[in-house]
Amino acid sequence: MGRPWREEYKGGIYHVIARGNNKEYVFKESIDKGYFLKQLKEYSRGMEYRVYGYVLMDNHYHIIIQTHGKKLQEIMHQMNNKYSKYFNSKYKRVGHIFQGRYKAVLVQDERYLLSLLRYIHQNPVKAHICESTDKYKWSSDIFYRNNIHSFIHIDIIMDMLSKDREEAIKKYKEYMEQEEETDYDSMKAVGEEAYQILCMTRKQVERRKRLDEILIETGVNEEEYKLIKAGKRKMDLTKYKVKYAKEALNHKYTYKEIGNNIAMSDTGIRNLLRRN
């Protein structure tokens, strides 16, 4: 039997999980984790993806990734294949490092990103490796906690907490101290529309683009994308918002859904289209 069909979206955000074959270690030393992170950073430029969070455990890893250029399948094949060659060469072994195919869970609703991030950051805490998320070296927690702008794109999630960055950092630290109860490992899709997506036929899914995909296809650059998602009201962003809203309506999204995705009300979207 062939592998199950996996739909991918340009602009799609995924929770990716890859585990060691037979639950064996995929990272035996700190230098192994460092090598994997170097790959994750370097490939993000050429393969055009964004990383919102990660945690590297000894026998598995979690990544929150958004694709823009290459397909997720190409990205993960490249990273896992190169890392496997490095690992086998270093430890003089042969065979598969990872257990079958990685698991990719579609994040349909960005409002769940913060909760998902807490889930992956708390992995070492729940494994009793450390007492709090800030005590674990091999996760993206440090980027959020210290407002570090690197290959981890922290702005979208931090802006969910507060537009004032100092306040956002304070709220982030408080949020990470609260236990995450949702088991994101067991989910097939994340978000309020997840069940609807899983029940759609392939033809229906392909017809209905994601809102972020529609926004990206308006021609916005990365900075404009961030500003629109944050609800900024700069005049030079209006043409993209109008194009986005019209196309989203064509794909049968409601005014409320369209507005929620770019921090606007449904009335704001109606007024925007009326004026333009």
Please indicate, yes or no, whether residues 219 and 164 belong to a single structural domain of this protein.
no
Q: Are 151 and 51 in contact (CB under 8 A)?
A: yes
159 and 249 in a single domain? The answer is no
Asked if residue 8 is part of any domain, the answer here is: no
According to DSSP, the residues that pair with 49 across neighbouring strands are: 67
Number of domains making up the chain: 2
Asked which of 186, 220, 241 is the last residue of a domain, the reply is: 186
Asked if the structure places residue 173 within a domain, the reply is: yes
197 occurs within a structural domain: no
148, 48: one domain = yes
Q: Is residue 4 part of a domain?
A: no
Query: How much is the pLDDT for 35?
Result: 97
* Rounded Cα distance, 158 and 142, in Å: 13
Amino acid at 3: R
| pLDDT score for 195 | 41
User: For residue 190, what pLDDT is reported?
Assistant: 66
Is 248 in the same domain as 136? no
Q: Is residue 132 packed enough to be buried (19+ CB in 10 Å), middle (13-18) or exposed (0-12)?
A: middle
**66: closest CA among 86, 44, 87?**
44
Whether residues 221 and 178 fall in one domain: no
Angle at alpha carbon of residue 37, lines to 36 and 43, rounded to 5°: 90
* Backbone angle region of 14, left / alpha / beta, with phi > 0 → left and psi within -120 to 50 → alpha: beta
SS3 call for 98: strand
Contact at 8 Å (CB) between 220 and 228? Answer: yes
Task: Find the domain containing 121 and state its range.
Answer: 13-186
Q: Letter for the amino acid at 144?
A: Y
Domain presence at residue 201: no
Q: What is the pLDDT of residue 96?
A: 87
Per-residue pLDDT of the chain (276 residues; tens, 9 = 90+): 334 444 566 678 899 999 998 889 999 999 999 999 999 999 998 888 999 999 999 999 999 999 987 889 899 999 999 999 999 999 999 888 998 788 988 887 777 899 999 999 999 999 999 999 999 999 999 999 999 988 999 999 999 899 899 999 999 999 999 998 888 877 666 654 444 444 444 444 445 678 888 998 898 888 899 899 988 888 999 999 999 999 999 988 999 999 999 999 999 999 999 998
Has residue 192 been placed in a domain? no
Assign residue 174 the CATH number of its domain.
Answer: 3.30.70.1290
3-state SS, residue 264: coil
Same domain, 217 and 116: no
Global pTM?
0.69
Whether 60 is in a domain gets the answer yes
Identify the H or E element spanning 35.
helix 30-46
On whether both 160 and 214 belong to a single domain, the answer is: no
Same domain, 175 and 227: no
Nearest Cα to Cα of residue 211 among 69, 75, 111: 111
The reply to whether 108 and 227 lie within a common domain is no
The partner residues of 54 in beta bridges, in order of sequence, read 63
Identify whether residues 123 and 234 lie together within a single domain. Answer: no
Q: Return the C-alpha torsion angle 158, 119, 41, 97, nearest 10.
A: -170
Whether residue 134 is found in the same domain as residue 268: no
Q: Are residues 108 and 59 located together in one domain of the fold?
A: yes
